[in-house]
Structure 1
C-alpha cells in the first residue's frame, strides 16, 4: 500500500505480512517511529529495536499517540535525587532520618526545601513539624521537595500540604537524563572549564560577586567545573556548571548572553559539560528543568534527554 509521506517521522502502528499459512497471510504489527530506508523499505523503530519492512508487505498503517514514558523504579529515583542534592549543596543541611532539611538564605528552591525521600524516623506529621521548625530557625519557607507519585508525595499531601504554586521558577520540575558523549567544539570558539568560578562566570551567573549562600550552592560541590564559552576575540558567549556525582554529571546554570542566542551555543555548552564528566567516569548527564520552561525542555528533547522522573514542591496550607 502507499504510505503517506506525513507519517514518516511519526509514531505509527504498521501492520505487515510476515508469511503465509494454509494459503492465508500471516500478519503482525510494529509500533514505533516510522522512517524511510530507500524506495522499497521502511523502518519502524520499536522499543525492542528497528523492524525493516518491505513496502509491498505493508497492509495498513496509522498514526498513534506517543508512548507513555516508562516510570523509573523508586530506588533509582531515590538514588538520582540524592545525587542531584549532592551536586547542589545547601548552605545549611541537617538530616531528619533519611530526609534532608536544607536552607540557603532563599537562594533557589532546591537549596531551601526539605528533600523528603526515605524514612524521616518520625511519623509524617511530626516530620513536617520539624520541617517547619527548621524553616523558622533559618528564616526560610517551609517547603518539601518530593518525587511526584512517590509514597512521600502521597504522605505529605495527605497531611494537607499543597503545591507551591507561587514558586516563581516553577513548582513542578522534570529530571532529565542522557548518555554523555565526546564533544566537538565549533571552529573559532573555545571553552574554559576551570575548577573554580571566575569573576566573569559569577557576573553572568548571579550578577556580581556571590553571597555566601550562592558561593556554597554553586561552588560547594567537590568536583565541579565552571564553563565559559568564548568567541575568537575572547568575548564571553555563555556559561555552564558541571558537577560530578558518582556516575552522573549534573549540569546547571546554563546561560547564553542575549546577543549570542539562537546560534547553537547552548548545545555546545551542554556537550562540553557532558564530555567533561565523561572524562571523569560519568556515564550519564542529568539536569532539572521546570515544566513551565517550554523552550528549554524543547532544546533538551532535541538533544536526546529523556525524563527520568518529576518532583514537586509542597507547602503547608494557608
Structure 2
C-alpha cells in the first residue's frame, strides 16, 4: 500500500508521521509528529493532512509525507496531586459540613452523620503537626461530634500512603461504598444533551417538599437542610423534572464553586429510569452553571454504581481521580 492510500486509511487514528521539512547540504531533513490524523483538505493549492499533537495541530503537505504508521492511544495523563487537592477542596466547599475546622491543610468536618464526605477529615496537604498527632486530633474531633473517626483521602496519593502507614485501613463497611470516583466533564458538552419530550425541567433557588421527598425520602433533618441548602453565599440550584401530569419524576442539586459546577443528589423515580430524565436534569444544570461562570462539572460517584457511571460516561464525563475512606484498625 502506498503512502497516499495509508494516509486515507489512517484518518481518525493516532499515528506517527514522518515528513520532509527542508534540505541541508543537498540532503533532505525530516521530522516526526504524533497525534490524531485528519484530512486537511487543500490549502493554498496544496493537498494536506493535519496531525493533532499535544502542542497543537500540525499541517503537512501530503507530498512531504515520507512514512506513516498507526500507534496505540496515548495513556491518559494523571492529574497532579496539586490539581487533585484543589478539586477535593472545591467539592468540600460545594458540600459544606456544619463544622469545618482547619488542621493545617487538613479539614476536620462533621454534620451529625449525614454523608461520609461531610463527616470525615479531608486529608490533603500537610496537617502542620506530626502525623500521629494529627490522626489523634481526628479521633478527638470525631468523639467531640459523636461520629466515627474517618479520613477521606485520594487513592494513591502520598497522603493516603502516610495515613495507611500509621495503621489506618479502608473502611469497607462504609455505605454506599468505600471508594468513590471523582468525575469531570465539559459544561458545553453537557449543556447540549438532548431534551426528553414531555418533560419540564426547572432549576430553582430553594428545594420544596416534593424535591426533598424524592432526594431524601422525606422531610430533611436540620443537619440535612443545612448541608444541602445552606443559608450562606454558596450558589446552589435545585433541579426538578416534571412529567406531563405535573408529577416530579427527578431531582438534582447543583452548586457553583469557582469555575466548577458540583452535581449531587441526582434521584429519578424507578419507573422512569433510563428514559433520559437524568440526562435532561444534567443538561439544565449545566446551562444554569454556565450562566454563573462555571466551565466544568464535577461529580462524586461510588464505583459500584455502574449505572450512574455509564450514564455520565455517555455524557462525556471522565474520571479525574478516586478517593477512599480510611479508619483506625
TM bucket (normalised to shorter chain) is 0.7 to 0.9
Q: 1:277 to 1:314 in 2, by over 3 A?
A: same
Question: Tell me, which stretches of 5 or more residues in structure 2 are unaligned?
Answer: 42-46
TM-score by length of 2: 0.81
Contact 2:20 2:66 in 1 (8 A): no
Q: 1:213 to 1:35 in 2, by over 3 A?
A: farther
Q: Partner residue of 1:28?
A: 32
Question: Tell me, which stretches of 5 or more residues in structure 1 are unaligned?
Answer: none
Contact 1:36 1:42 in 2 (8 A): yes
TM-score by length of 1: 0.83
Q: Partner residue of 1:248?
A: 260
Residues 216-295 of structure 1 aligned to structure 2 (within 5 Å):
216-220=226-230, 222-295=234-307
**C-alpha distance in structure 2 between counterparts of 1:211 and 1:41, whole Å:** 64
Contact 2:191 2:282 in 1 (8 A): no
**C-alpha distance in structure 2 between counterparts of 1:301 and 1:3, whole Å:** 32
SS in 2 for 1:205: helix
Q: 1:58 to 1:148 in 2, by over 3 A?
A: farther
Distance apart, 1:3 and its partner CA: 5.0
Q: Which has the larger radius of gyration?
A: 2
Tell me if 1:137 matches 2:144: yes
Q: Partner residue of 1:303?
A: 315
Q: 1:73 to 1:102 in 2, by over 3 A?
A: closer
Q: 1:308 to 1:188 in 2, by over 3 A?
A: same
Distance apart, 1:134 and its partner CA: 2.0
Q: Partner residue of 1:13?
A: 15
Aligned residue pair count: 314
Q: Among residues 306, 314, 317, which one is paired with 2:326 in the alignment?
A: 314
Q: Among residues 197, 206, 215, which one is paired with 1:205 in the alignment?
A: 215
**C-alpha distance in structure 2 between counterparts of 1:230 and 1:197, whole Å:** 14
CA deviation string 1:67-118 (max 9, x = no partner): 23232351x3333222211111223333333322222333221012111123
Tell me if 1:189 matches 2:199: yes
SS in 2 for 1:64: coil
